[in-house]
Amino acid sequence: MNESTFPGTEQFPSPAQPIAPTVTQPAAPPQPQRNLTPPDNYAEMPRPTAKLTAEDLSPVNDAHGPRNKIGPTGRPLPHLPVPQPPTKTGPAQVIAMCNQKGGVGKTTTTINLGAAIAETGRKVLLIDFDPQGSASIGLGVQPHDLDISVYNLLMQRDITPDEVIRPTRVENLDLLPANIDLSAAEVQLVQEVAREYTLQRVLEPIIPNYDVILIDCAPSLGLLTVNALTASNGIVVPLECEFFALRGLAMLTDTIGKVQDRLNPKLEIVGILGTMFDGRTTHAREVLDRVVQAFDERVFHTVIRRTVKFPETTVVGEPITTYAPSSSAATQYRDLAKEVLARCPAG
């Protein structure tokens, strides 16, 4: 597939067309090597990875047991250490699941990464920061039944986090639920002093009580998401491995840059996560190759494959790690937990 037929990258500049020299014109001087810095230059990138050989793909058996040499992202798979049980609780790493594109796996990742980290013995809080209330539904809480939610915590000074946070059926996993009320906060917060710091302020007292706090952002880059980024020290960007995945990433990295400059210098991209990956299609592999070229080591080695198990977990209201604990989907989120904890040690 050539550049012009790669949907999802049309917004990025196409490589300049060389102008054919005429007899009267001197030949164009050789173009200097361009420094390819993500994320504006996808279109100019050379085609990805050399073909892998059968030997690259064959499993190895080393000191860490049997494993594949090359992972789904086309890079050598590192050994991911099993997280040791924590020695203490807190202060929490706060990580926002962020991508303004809808339906890319933010909520699925928040719930299942959270549950996989909780399995390691760490105290985890999930914050549903989307008025759709999907993370709450995914953990068996009906948003319309809530008397009190993250909205009240943000807008009413007399409400404390303990009044809103509730345990889930998963050990070590708590939930700060949301419902449609939260959409009003987006409007009401505009009039507040230091409006971007509202979530950070309300979370401050509970940072020592958790090892990891995961925030499920809404599919927008509005004030709620800016609040989530300001309250976080890390971002995980779930990216669906399909045609339009790269669209809008420039806007997301621009917003992240602005938040880093103006509101929260400690914010970092923990990693970019390929989701809904179907390794049987060349297309999904091409998208992942592009993402690896652009973001290199920031792309997680773990990818989450497409499976009907995830929609099923939403229906039953529990994470994959308890619904189908020995499924490959559960293993993928446990691997992701290992990578996240290796990148941001917690507990």
107 is a contact residue toward Mg ion (CB under 5 A): yes
How far apart are alpha carbons 173 and 177 in whole angstroms?
12
Q: Which does 310 bind (CB under 5 to 8 A by kind): Mg ion, ligand ATP, none?
A: ligand ATP
Segment near ligand ATP (CB under 6 A), from 70-78, 100-108, 152-160, 176-184?
100-108
330 is a contact residue toward ligand ATP (CB under 6 A): no
Q: Which does 220 bind (CB under 5 to 8 A by kind): Mg ion, ligand ATP, none?
A: none
106 is a contact residue toward Mg ion (CB under 5 A): yes
Burial tier of 17 (Cβ tally within 10 Å: 0-12, 13-18, 19+): exposed
Segment near ligand ATP (CB under 6 A), from 96-104, 200-208, 228-236, 251-259?
96-104
> By three-state DSSP, how is residue 92 classified?
coil
Structure tokens at 260: 């880093």
130 is a contact residue toward ligand ATP (CB under 6 A): yes
Contacts of 294 (CB under 8 A, 6+ apart): 38, 39, 41, 42, 45, 246, 249
109 is a contact residue toward Mg ion (CB under 5 A): no
How far apart are alpha carbons 255 and 98 in whole angstroms?
11
Gyration radius of the chain's alpha carbons: 22
Shortest Å, Cβ 103 to ligand ATP? 4
How far apart are alpha carbons 310 and 14 in whole angstroms?
37
Q: Which does 103 bind (CB under 5 to 8 A by kind): ligand ATP, Mg ion, none?
A: ligand ATP
**What is the residue type of 56?**
D
Longest CA–CA separation in the chain, Å = 80
| Distance, first Cα to last Cα, the chain | 46
> By three-state DSSP, how is residue 275 classified?
strand
The only residue of 13, 103, 205, 325 in contact with ligand ATP, by rule CB under 6 A: 103
Cα 177 to Cα 59, 103, 108, 188: the distances in Å are: 43, 19, 15, 19
Tell me whether residue 132 or residue 232 sits nearer to ligand ATP (CB atom). 132
Tell me whether residue 106 or residue 123 sits nearer to Mg ion (CB atom). 106
338 is a contact residue toward ligand ATP (CB under 6 A): no
Tell me whether residue 92 or residue 303 sits nearer to ligand ATP (CB atom). 303
Q: What is the crossing angle of helices 223-231 and 249-262, to 10°?
A: 60
Q: Which does 275 bind (CB under 5 to 8 A by kind): Mg ion, ligand ATP, none?
A: ligand ATP
Segment near ligand ATP (CB under 6 A), from 50-58, 78-86, 105-113, 261-269?
105-113
Shortest Å, Cβ 228 to ligand ATP? 13
HSE, side-chain direction, 13 A CA sphere, residue 209: 12
Decide the pairing of beta strands 173-176 and 59-62: unpaired
Decide the pairing of beta strands 234-240 and 93-97: parallel
Q: Which residues pair with 269 in a beta bridge?
A: 235
Shortest Å, Cβ 143 to Mg ion? 12
Tell me whether residue 28 or residue 315 sits nearer to ligand ATP (CB atom). 315
Segment near ligand ATP (CB under 6 A), from 148-156, 193-201, 304-312, 315-323?
304-312
334 is a contact residue toward ligand ATP (CB under 6 A): no
- Count of residues of this chain found to bind ligand ATP when the rule CB under 6 A is applied: 19
Q: Which does 102 bind (CB under 5 to 8 A by kind): Mg ion, ligand ATP, none?
A: ligand ATP
Task: Catalog residues that contact ligand ATP under the rule CB under 6 A.
Answer: 102-108, 130, 132, 134, 219, 275-276, 304, 306-307, 310-311, 314
